[in-house]
Structure 1
Amino acid sequence: MSTAVVTGLGVVAPNGLGAEEYWAATLEGRSGIGPIERYDASSYPSRLAGQVRGFEAADHLPGRLVPQTDQVTRFALAAADWALADAEVDLTAFDPLELGVATANASGGFEFTQHEVQKLWTLGPQHVSAYQCFAWFYAVNSGQISIRNNLRGAGSALVAEQAAGLDALGQARRLLRKGARLVVAGGVEAPLNPYALVSQISHGLLSRARQAADAYLPFDPRAEGYVPGEGGALLIVEDGDSAGRRGAHRRYGEIVGYAAGFDPRPGSGRPPGLRRVIGDALADAGLRPDEVDVVFADAAGLPGPDRAEAEALAEVFGPRAVPVTAPKTMTGRLLAGGPPVDVVAALLALRDQVIPPTVNTAPADDLPIDLVTGAPREARLRTALVLARGYGGFNSALVVRR
């Protein structure tokens, strides 16, 4: 059976552009969360976000692409370029039919759509851009990455809110097992324009804190919601044998386990699905719980879901038996873009033998969780588990190994 190795990383995050810049900021505890800057959000109940700064689309994309695309696709194309460059892969040496793409997205091209709807309402239909027909669509990132890089193999677009970010990487491994040699995989989001932000505010899960340091506090008794963010990560996932034949200069790690599931209907009396999904991912990896060295938590930032996650981890690993971290407290929850960023952090943690911190939060005393807070923790790391839950009951788990 083919192995799925990660050979390239591309990150667009609120606290760093590029994998190494993001990683340095994360180890230093530098947050990208702050007041929304692009418009007046003073009338909104939630006014903080993890915003990508310093990204100029014209610096990364051909001029013709900029007016055709939403910011989410500009992020995705840049991240894919960085990941391919990091992998030092010559795509012309492959049969294009052996090259695939699998991306996740929960919000689509919200900003592009808002602008076109405004033009429709104020100026009339003749002023609406022809590019609206695809710029808003969940699959647009996969399509544009495929076109730009001549990836003519299987293409996928997954929608399961936050959990889809791991599902895309699980899909990449599946495509490799079906004969692909290389897949660009991950998730990217840009859901911070007014239209997109109001859509998130409507479900009542966003923090209403006014200070960034008090806003996103997973596992903390003060937790009152999450902070939204933009960005994400794309990874180059290759068949291990193929990567060896081409002389891949680095392997960040291997995807060895993956599972997904769904919560039961509310009020059914049945337990949430996360515990089972964790067990299924470990079984898929052929690992015992004591062989997992660190967990990158979903970290909902709400007391009920946080407790459920901590208890699920305690059931699998034992109370406080495995270090847990949530570096997304420095970026906000990036919807489907967040879990691939966590996978990047997990792979770099395995590389550098250090667990990044969860900032600003102090776990409740009665939670059975060993949360890494304050500063990075040096540790002997070989295997990491990454968790993601999506609004509506989605659960996914991914296991990576050195």
Structure 2
Amino acid sequence: MALTAAMTSLLVSLVWFCAATVRAQRDRFVFNGFQFANLSLNGVAIKRHNGAVQLTKETFSSIGHAFYPRPLSFDSHTSFSTTFVFAIVPPVPGGGGNGLAFTIAPSPLLLGGQAGQWLGLLNSTTDGSSSNHVFAVEFDTVEGMKGDIDSNHVGIDINSLVSIASKTASYYSENNRKQDLLLDSGVRIQAWVEYSAHEKNIEVTIAPFGVARPHRYLISHTLDLSSILLPSMYVGFSSATLKAEAEHYVLGWSFSLNMEAQPLDLSRLPSVPRPPARPKRALAIKIGASISGTFLLLAIAATAAAYLIRRAKLSETPEEWERDLPHRFAYKDLYLATKGFKDHELLGSGGFGKVYKGVLPGSRVEVAVKRVSDSSKQGVREFIA
């Protein structure tokens, strides 16, 4: 009987231990690359062969999401810690869009999220609604939203893409000097996000890949997430492009509830996949076609202008005194006959103007053409005499 009781007690302990272990595994995880990771991917997001998660393609107006597949439990006492490595790869460093965001949301699908400045999170209708229950830390490379401080900033978002706190992307070196950091440089960047439910404060820190975590944060903001985070939430990433192309990658990710996230093993993280030569070539073709098209339009405009000017020169309106003459030659015929009133066809000049030698087109009859001068002081009678 005593043995049975002991076995029962041991079994209960094992069940409790296993349940606690499963709960602990769900409350924290670490992905040093995503080769074998089970993630919820939607939009254009894919897992690359080297273990990187690609959120967007180098195309216009694309959206991608990558989330941990199981919901996590939150309450008013829940803190969280996360660190991840990302890269934004545009065709030209500093020319990409629109950015990515670490996100905590009620659903991994983010239905209704739009491209561009909305980062695939919200849209113009839902932005600002308290029913969103969306928390995000954005890494924004386009000055698109109202209130954006520049086109290279980190911001904290609550139910809206209008950040409640933001700073130009930078980090503090070991000697406490502030160093700028270009988000869409195409190189790996590490970020840390820490929320304390007890202190009701959130801190965001970034640094170049391989640089130790700075002792000084980039953003520290007083914030109570108890009314934002529902009892069941999903954690992950959202990204989007619009008019500016870029490939957005997440290369490693560690997350934990109520304790510090486990450090990433940087030596195991995948490198940034480089775009194939074709997109760059296509970009060159686009630029070349744009330049060629511009020159073609200018050439067409110049040709049209020259034609209109020539046509204006050759156009005429008969005057009243010409109606009494037995024959009238068109100005165009006289212009052609004198080869455009060239000086080498000049026969002489007088007070009325100049006389040119000409050959009428068609009949080939030689004629003398009198052309009145604007400065002539003689009248019509003297001219036709």
Q: Shorter-normalised TM-score: what interval?
A: under 0.3
Compare relative contact order (CA 8 Å, sep 6+) and give the higher one, 1 or 2: 1
Output the TM-score relative to the length of structure 2. Answer: 0.23
Output the TM-score relative to the length of structure 1. Answer: 0.22
Greater strand proportion: 2
Q: Which has the larger Rg?
A: 2
